[in-house]
Amino acid sequence: MLIFEKSRTGRGIDTLPACDVPEVLPSEAHQRTKALHLPQMSEGDLSRHYTELAKKSHGVNDGFYPLGSCTMKYNPKLNDAAANLPGFTEIHPLQPEESVQGCLEVLQKAEEYLCEITGMDHMSMQPAAGAHGEFAGLLLIKAYHESRRENKRKKILVPDSAHGTNPASAVMAGYKVVSIPSGPDGCVDIEKLKEAATDEVAGLMLTNPNTVGLFDKNILEITDIVHQCGGLNYYDGANLNAVMGIVRPGDMGFDVIHLNLHKTFSTPHGGGGPGSGPVGCKDFLTQFLPSKLVAGETILSFVRPEHSIGEMKSFYGNFLVVVRALAYIMTLGREGIPEASRNAVLNANYMMEKLKDLYTIAYNEICMHEFVMSLDDLKKEYGVSAMDIAKGLLDHDIHPPTMYFPLIVSEALMAEPTETESRETLDEAIAVFRKLYQDAKENAEVLHRAPVSTPVTRLDEVGAARNPVLRYQWPD
């Protein structure tokens, strides 16, 4: 039942005292006349309502969450404690600088550590999510070329395996997207890249390891080809969990990067946000970074990059999310960061090896932190699709892997276990995957009807899109 249906006139919570100064109301011309319906409930009923909703949700805390490309690792409680300190939560963003030295220190340290991890020279914490960081990074590239009057560079190269935000961000930045096909090995087709690398190209967007979980060993050649034609290289940091502390984007030839703190750096996903997508760059681009950076040694202050692209949003970014990420980096430290990546890769290979006799692995070689299965054969032979297996997993309380991405693999399921899963969790999950495979062969109907044990069964998405009902309406 919706909260509005539980509402009863006259009920409520006594939150505020009466006004202790003479009341001032807006003039009639500006007064609200449209009724305002909000729930009227006791605190007890309200509390129960949300407990009910929480029971119908599934977080990393509830079970294995092998979502490829999302890095659903454990969200440490220490990070939450840090982010809830009043010395952070009660601070107004426009307080005098001398009264927020601790906040400035958080931003400075986060920048310092993340730059070291990625091989960049400076980084802004302002972008609020990965896509936001991508947009900022592309604007850096645009500002760079404009400053050199290279105005015919209107194209951005994007592999066909890229995450949808890549081409979308490029278009938002005013570029035309040129898609580079992947070779049969799942990596960038070097010959096609060379053909496309003209003096009309502003840059290339790439992630390495790529979206099929493979480390592109031609990476230095790739970034060089782009530099040779006068373009810049942009690194999508979504897959950093495979290589952090082991290899750095800055050493692979990348000039600009973004990170996803809500992926690699353990901040909670929150049901879809808030995340944080810092944008980092090499020195020659620092002057274009958005908003403000933190400078100083003992006394810290904000400085504006000389030719900044401006503001991506108000203030300094999702600050409390950055606090969480900083606590995480401080906990892991010099040894723990590469340790996390190594174990992420181990867990992915472990899971892949134990499934490959049944499930077709799209690219049958050492994977990095994630691997892709193709259920094409299963579909052709038994009529069971990636969707059916995914829904079958739900009945076993396992969150499915990413479905139907990347687009270059048909009936794709992309699994990323992360390093924070134990061997027995992996073994249990592997057993479930194997059982579902058997079900597909012997009892496909069960999978077509799945899930059956969840609060709702498969939903009518066609109806939802054809006749959208996007809000509750009060009966008149």
Partner 1 sequence: MKLEQGLLYSKSHEWVKDNGDEIVIGLTDHAQSELGDLVFVNLPEEGDELVVGESFADVESVKAVSDVYAPVSGVITEINEELLDAPEKINEAPYEAWLVKVKEVTDKEELLSVEEYEAFVASEQE
Partner 2 sequence: MGSYIPNTEQERREMLNDIGYRSMEDLFVHIPSDMKVKEGLAIPEGLSELEVNRKMQQMAGKNKIYGSIFRGAGAYRHFIPSIVKSVVSKENLMTAYTPYQAEISQGILQSIFEYQTMICELTGMDVSNASVYDGAAAAAEAIAMCRERKRKKALISAVVMPSVLETVQTYCFGNEMELVVIPEKDGVTDMEALKEQLDEGTACIYIQHPNYCGNLEDPEQIGNLAHKAGAKFVMGVNPISLGILKTPREYGADVAVGDGQPLGLPLGFGGPYLGFMACVEGMTRKLPGRIVGETKDADGKTGYVLTLQAREQHIRREKSSSNICSNQALCALTIGVYLAAMGKEGIANAAVQCASKAHYLAGELEKIGFKLENQREYFHEFITSSEQPAVKILEALEVQNILGGYPLDEKRILWCCTEMNSKAEIDEVIHHIKEV
Among residue numbers 402 through 421, which ones bind partner 1 (CB under 8 A)?
Answer: 404
Partner touching 102 among partner 1, partner 2, none, CB below 5 to 8 Å by kind: partner 2
Cα Rg of the chain, angstroms: 25
Partner touching 80 among partner 1, partner 2, none, CB below 5 to 8 Å by kind: partner 2
Pick the closer one to partner 1 by CB: 18 or 462: 462
The least CB distance from residue 456 to partner 1, in Å, is 17
In this structure, is the dihedral angle defined by the CA atoms of residues 64, 66, 72 and 76, taken in order, positive or negative?
positive
Residue 470 sits in the site that holds partner 1 (CB under 8 A):
no
Residue 230, by phi and psi: left (phi above 0), alpha (psi -120 to 50) or beta? left
Here the tokens at position 6 are: 């539980």
Pick the closer one to partner 1 by CB: 54 or 462: 462
Q: Which stretch binds partner 1 (CB under 8 A): 57-65, 235-243, 276-284, 459-467?
A: 459-467
Instruction: Give the Cα separation of 277 and 280 in Å (integer).
Output: 10
Phi, psi of 188 (to 5 degrees): -60, 130
* Distances 195 to 180, 184, 189, 221, 236 between C-alpha atoms, Å: 10, 18, 10, 14, 23
Partner touching 327 among partner 2, partner 1, none, CB below 5 to 8 Å by kind: partner 2
Residue 77 sits in the site that holds partner 1 (CB under 8 A):
no
Element (DSSP H or E) covering residue 204 = strand 201-206
Partner touching 172 among partner 1, partner 2, none, CB below 5 to 8 Å by kind: partner 2
Here the tokens at position 409 are: 């693999």
The least CB distance from residue 464 to partner 1, in Å, is 8
The least CB distance from residue 230 to partner 2, in Å, is 21
Among 92, 149, 466, 471, contact with partner 1 (rule: CB under 8 A): 466
Cα-Cα-Cα-Cα dihedral of 436, 64, 129, 189, to 10°? -50
Residue 465 sits in the site that holds partner 1 (CB under 8 A):
yes
Partner residues linked to 295 by β-bridges: 301
Pick the closer one to partner 1 by CB: 191 or 381: 381
Pick the closer one to partner 1 by CB: 116 or 160: 160
Site residue total, partner 1 (CB under 8 A): 5
Partner touching 215 among partner 2, partner 1, none, CB below 5 to 8 Å by kind: partner 2
The least CB distance from residue 239 to partner 2, in Å, is 13
Determine the longest span between alpha carbons in the chain, in angstroms.
77
The least CB distance from residue 463 to partner 1, in Å, is 9
Here the tokens at position 256 are: 């600009």
Pick the closer one to partner 2 by CB: 320 or 373: 320
The least CB distance from residue 289 to partner 2, in Å, is 12
Contact 36, 65 (CB under 8 A): no
Instruction: Give the Cα separation of 368 and 77 in Å (integer).
Output: 27
Cβ contacts of residue 185 below 8 Å, gap of 6+?
214, 363
The least CB distance from residue 312 to partner 2, in Å, is 6
Here the tokens at position 406 are: 């990347």
The least CB distance from residue 197 to partner 2, in Å, is 19
In this structure, is the dihedral angle defined by the CA atoms of residues 356, 360, 365 and 369, taken in order, positive or negative?
negative
Instruction: Give the Cα separation of 243 and 144 in Å (integer).
Output: 28
Partner residues linked to 301 by β-bridges: 295
Pick the closer one to partner 1 by CB: 461 or 476: 461
Partner touching 189 among partner 1, partner 2, none, CB below 5 to 8 Å by kind: none
Instruction: Give the Cα separation of 432 and 439 in Å (integer).
Output: 10
Residue 461 sits in the site that holds partner 1 (CB under 8 A):
yes
Pick the closer one to partner 1 by CB: 121 or 160: 160
Instruction: Give the Cα separation of 324 and 431 in Å (integer).
Output: 34
Pick the closer one to partner 2 by CB: 345 or 441: 345
Pick the closer one to partner 2 by CB: 74 or 380: 74
Pick the closer one to partner 2 by CB: 379 or 396: 396
Residue 54 sits in the site that holds partner 1 (CB under 8 A):
no
Q: Which of 221, 217, 220, 284 is nearest to 255 (CA)?
A: 284
The least CB distance from residue 290 to partner 2, in Å, is 7
Q: For tokens 């977080």, what's the residue?
A: 59
Partner touching 306 among partner 1, partner 2, none, CB below 5 to 8 Å by kind: none
User: Is 314 buried (19+), middle (13-18) or exposed (0-12) by CB count in 10 A?
Assistant: exposed
Pick the closer one to partner 2 by CB: 76 or 203: 76
Partner touching 254 among partner 1, partner 2, none, CB below 5 to 8 Å by kind: none
Element (DSSP H or E) covering residue 162 = none
Residue 350 sits in the site that holds partner 1 (CB under 8 A):
no
Residue ranges that bind partner 1, judged by CB under 8 A: 404, 461-462, 465-466
